[in-house]
Amino acid sequence: MKFLGKAFLVLVFIFLFIPFLFSTSFKFQFLSPEFWIASLRAGAVYPKLEKVLKNGLQMQVKEGKTSAQEAKVFWTGVLSSGTLQDIIEKNLKLSLDFATGRAKDRKFYIPFDKLPKGLVPAALSGTLGNEISPEQLTKLLGPQAQDSQFNNRNLARTGTNALVSWSVSLVVLLGVLLVMYLVTQGGKRLTTPGVGLILSSVLVMALSALGTLWGRGAGQEMLANEAEPAAQLLGTLGPPVILPMFALWRNIALGTLVLGIALLFVKKPVTLPKKASLKKK
């Protein structure tokens, strides 16, 4: 029975370890503007994105969904890699600063001074700065750009929710380790928590290796000429984000693996009964 109980605790620990890693990535990577900026730049995303979007625009022209004149306006201005980088990085920072509470108001960045003339009516753009509110964006782009106050409130709570989720996940994980320690008899090695850490680490390292291989292979396949525009877009943006996530998981798994191996050689202290200790005195 003791063996089955310990085996169950090990399985519970392994089951909780993956959600903990997801919450860690969400809290410390996906909510960080620096993570996105560094990842997208390291993956040379913007030149690839320029090519993918221009290919999609060419397809729309061929299908008659967009005129050649409109395509030329976007081609020479909005779809350049420099403009795309400027728009994406600054909007990521504005949105994530609002989501994590570093900014009180939500803003959107539109570089009116860099956009082709005539793309945005002068009557609208002339009175606006480059950072505009959701209400101003609605006036500029129409009802399709409208964002409700409910969505803004939810976005503003993202940072707090991520912190709570990560904290609860960590506490529960440490709680299971504590239970493993308590069920270990005095004088016995801390084999159960050690095995739980080792198995979890090995599983995560295997998942990280497979995810890294898949991310690289899938990205190249999606970027193939015959791929659909949506697949090309995913192949462009996916790998630069997925690969650093798995790298973080691998580093955490390496640390817990070393800790798990160390625990195999550590014994729980023997606690003597009070009466026995009094007799010795």
> Are 185 and 268 contacting, i.e. CB atoms less than 8 angstroms apart?
yes
**DSSP codes of every residue in 165-217:** HHHHHHHHHHHHHHHHHHHSPTTSB-HHHHHHHHHHHHHHHHHHHHHHHHHHH
> Nearest to residue 138, comparing CAs of 150, 124, 126, 118?
124
> Are 92 and 33 contacting, i.e. CB atoms less than 8 angstroms apart?
yes
DSSP label at residue 267: B
Say if residue 265's pLDDT is above 80.
yes
> Nearest to residue 190, comparing CAs of 269, 272, 273, 252?
269
Say if residue 118's pLDDT is above 80.
no
Pairwise CA distance, residues 131 & 151, whole Å: 19
pLDDT digits (tens, 9 = 90+) for 152-211: 788 889 999 999 999 999 999 999 999 999 999 888 999 999 999 999 999 999 999 999
Between 271 and 40, the higher pLDDT residue: 40
**Average per-residue pLDDT for the chain:** 84
- Is 34 buried (19+), middle (13-18) or exposed (0-12) by CB count in 10 A? exposed
- What pTM did the predictor assign? 0.84
Q: pLDDT band at residue 278, thresholds of 50, 70 and 90? A: very low
Residue 142 backbone phi and psi in degrees, to 5: 100, 180
Q: Give residue 253's pLDDT.
A: 97
The SS3 call for residue 130 is coil
pLDDT digits (tens, 9 = 90+) for 11-49: 999 999 999 999 999 999 999 999 999 999 999 999 988
Output the six-digit token pair for 41: 């730049």
Highest mean pLDDT among 109-123, 165-179, 267-281: 165-179
Say if residue 149's pLDDT is above 70.
no
Between 220 and 123, the higher pLDDT residue: 220
Percent of the chain with pLDDT over 90: 50
Residues linked to residue 109 through DSSP beta bridges, in sequence order? 131
Q: pLDDT band at residue 54, thresholds of 50, 70 and 90? A: confident
> Are 252 and 21 contacting, i.e. CB atoms less than 8 angstroms apart?
yes
Pairwise CA distance, residues 227 & 270, whole Å: 64
Pairwise CA distance, residues 94 & 63, whole Å: 36
Q: Give residue 189's pLDDT.
A: 92
